[in-house]
Amino acid sequence: MKRHIRNGINAGITFGIITIFLFMIGFTTTISDLLGQLLQNGSSASVLGFAPGRFDLLVFLFFIGMWAGISGSKKTPDERESWGTVLAASGTAGLIHGILVGGLVLLVGSLLKAGVSMTVYFAQLLPDAIHLFLLGLNATSGALFYVVFLLMTGLIGGAVARTIRYGALGQNIAGWFKNKWHAFTAWPQYQRIRHNRPALFVVYGILILLVILLPQVLGQYWNYTVGTVGIYVLLGLGLNIVVGLAGMLDLGYVAFFAIGAYTVALLTAPAPHHLMWSFWVTVPIGILLAAFAGIVLGIPVLRLRGDYLAIVTLGFGQIIAVLLHSDELTAFTGGPKGVAAVGSPTLFGISLGTPEGFVYLILLGVVLVIFVTIRLRNSRVGRAWEAIREDETVARAMGINTWFHKLLAFAIGAAFAGLGGVIFASRNQFTGPEDYNLMVSFNVLASVIVGGMGSIPGVVGGAFTLKGLPEVLRELENYRVLAFGALLVVMMLIRPEGLLPTSRRKMEIKEIHDPDEKAANGTSGGTT
């Protein structure tokens, strides 16, 4: 059988299983609710004559279907595939995907009609969820619909993928923006400041001074916004280690954030445990527990790569979310109501529990995390991570213990998220399961990708763009999420390496031109 057809079948089966899995755990219902909120429902959906939930579900499945098509048409980068092979591969992927999902719909729909209650076996298979998935059709026509729908979306995905990869339009737009960016970086003033040490120190000095003064000047609202951005920077820097440096796509990252937050909440709040510990004691506990959870997640996924790793970690994030929602665990976690009156930090009798206090605390955390990241990155450990990202097989052949370094990346990334969670819960004085939904993982991942994978200024810039920009865009009201999404798409097309991509360390030049400084500084110098 031809290779592209085989690729298509593999992708079709993989995505068929994924979609079925998502339906079984009730994710399809959750996401259509979520999309419903984002798309502001009503207007657009009713125009097309859909009931709102169904429309949102189809939007979601449209993207999953496209993803299957894109994945199925993937080939070696040096081969330029023709339209025929792309469409054959993505069509095969879409068809298999459709047949699997259609089969499930047929089965579940018929069982529902026969009056079998499936909630006994799968708690999420409520009649409502099934009706939603059937889109109001009966089992047979629903199944047929999915076969056709997923075939079409698969084909669209393949076509989109090929257009972006080789299409003249995609290349032209990308080229134009790249030229503009090069013109800016070649600008003499920019170059002069960039390569002049005293000038850089002055720039940094002013920045630090501003940072110290700013919280005093900003109002409560802006302090809160800056704090939120700062927490996202913490999360972004942690995920940056896992995704940007070690190259492992982790979609369940929110779990570690939740573990940090719930640790501080349960240990400092009056209910449900009445422990009332000091905030400062819980900080290291929260960080360590999150790191431990990182290792626990890491062990089973060590062998997985790429798309498969993404799906498993996504599941892990969902498990934590489900546990936090659980009524059974109310006595332990506070259940759906969450935990109120979380303790806040005090220092020498002065409360830091004010918006300004938290801004300082968060900035301190960010500086610490950046410091640790830079040092790890420019060491043997950081190089091993990057080698794993570039080519895991060769990394092993070069004597790197990939097993250890991948777990280390998971643990350190999770520890940063734990720190973020601790501060987050304390600042809100409350924590509930709603704060830790999937969108957090996606937002953090987006900030890492938008900023530039592996780059520290990139992550900071990305977090500002993702959490700060929507606040600034408030004028656009209901359209801001839409405008923002469009911005992200355009941005990824024209600058896939991110806003502020990493620049490699120049070590040979440095060694030859200023060996004295090198000897004095060790290897501390380096760009980020």
Partner 1 sequence: MDTIALETRGLSKRFGGLIAVNAVDLAIPEKSIFSVIGPNGAGKTTFYNCITGFYAPEDGEILFFNKSLVGLDPNQIAQMGIARTYQNIRLFANMTALENILIGQHHLLKTGWIEAILQTARMRKEETNALSEALRLLRFVGMAGLGDQTARNLPYGAQRRLELARALALKPRMLLLDEPTAGMNPIETMEMMRFIQRLRDELEITILLIEHDMRVVMGISEHIAVLDYGVKIAEGTPSEIQGNAQVIEAYLGRAATAAA
Give the H/E segment covering residue 318. helix 306-325
Q: Which one-letter amino acid corresponds to residue 161?
A: A
Whole-angstrom distance, CA of residue 297 vs CA of residue 302: 9
Shorter beta-carbon distance to partner 1: residue 187 or 371? 371
Q: Does residue 28 contact residue 133 with C-beta atoms inside 8 Å?
A: yes
To partner 1, the closest distance from the beta carbon of 401 in angstroms equals 5
Q: Where does this chain touch partner 1 (CB under 8 A) — which range of 58-66, 83-91, 376-384, 466-474?
A: 376-384
334's tokens: 């506070």
Query: Binders of partner 1: how many residues, by CB under 8 A?
Result: 38
Q: Does 519 bind partner 1 (CB under 8 A)?
A: yes
To partner 1, the closest distance from the beta carbon of 395 in angstroms equals 7
Q: Identify how many contiguous H helices and E strands the chain contains and give both numbers.
A: 25, 4
Q: Where does this chain touch partner 1 (CB under 8 A) — which range of 113-121, 351-359, 388-396, 481-489?
A: 388-396
Pick from 340, 188, 203: nearest CA to 262: 340
Tell me which of 59, 283, 301, 376 binds partner 1, using CB under 8 A. 376
Shorter beta-carbon distance to partner 1: residue 405 or 467? 405
Q: Does 393 bind partner 1 (CB under 8 A)?
A: yes
Shorter beta-carbon distance to partner 1: residue 325 or 375? 375
Tell me which of 412, 422, 425, 440 binds partner 1, using CB under 8 A. 412
User: 450 CB contacts (<8 Å, ≥6 apart)?
Assistant: 461, 462, 465, 466, 488, 491, 492, 498, 499
To partner 1, the closest distance from the beta carbon of 379 in angstroms equals 4
Tell me which of 151, 229, 408, 459 binds partner 1, using CB under 8 A. 408
Pick from 370, 373, 409: nearest CA to 247: 409
Q: Does 379 bind partner 1 (CB under 8 A)?
A: yes
Whole-angstrom distance, CA of residue 268 vs CA of residue 257: 17
| Subset of 81-140 contacting partner 1 (CB under 8 A) | none
Whole-angstrom distance, CA of residue 62 vs CA of residue 510: 51
Whole-angstrom distance, CA of residue 418 vs CA of residue 412: 10
Judged on CB neighbours under 10 Å (0-12, 13-18, 19+), 12 is buried
Q: Does 381 bind partner 1 (CB under 8 A)?
A: yes
Q: Does 449 bind partner 1 (CB under 8 A)?
A: no
CB atoms within 10 A of CB 289: 21
Tell me which of 212, 394, 476, 490 binds partner 1, using CB under 8 A. 394
Shorter beta-carbon distance to partner 1: residue 198 or 522? 522
To partner 1, the closest distance from the beta carbon of 168 in angstroms equals 24
Q: What is the DSSP letter of 351?
A: E
Q: Does 223 bind partner 1 (CB under 8 A)?
A: no
Whole-angstrom distance, CA of residue 338 vs CA of residue 361: 24
Q: Where does this chain touch partner 1 (CB under 8 A) — which range of 41-49, 63-71, 94-102, 520-528?
A: 520-528
Query: What region does 151 belong to: left with phi over 0, alpha with psi -120 to 50, or beta?
Result: alpha
| Subset of 458-517 contacting partner 1 (CB under 8 A) | 504-509, 511
Shorter beta-carbon distance to partner 1: residue 178 or 380? 380
Q: Does 14 bind partner 1 (CB under 8 A)?
A: no
Q: Does 37 bind partner 1 (CB under 8 A)?
A: no
> Helices 127-134 and 52-72 sit at what angle, rounded to 10 degrees?
70
Tell me which of 140, 196, 401, 527 binds partner 1, using CB under 8 A. 401
Give, in degrees to the nearest 5, the angle at Cα 46 between 45 and 51: 75
Q: Does residue 225 contact residue 472 with C-beta atoms inside 8 Å?
A: no
Q: Does 524 bind partner 1 (CB under 8 A)?
A: yes
To partner 1, the closest distance from the beta carbon of 283 in angstroms equals 17
What are the residues binding partner 1 (CB under 8 A)? 372, 375-376, 379-384, 386-387, 390-391, 393-403, 408, 412, 504-509, 511, 518-519, 522-524
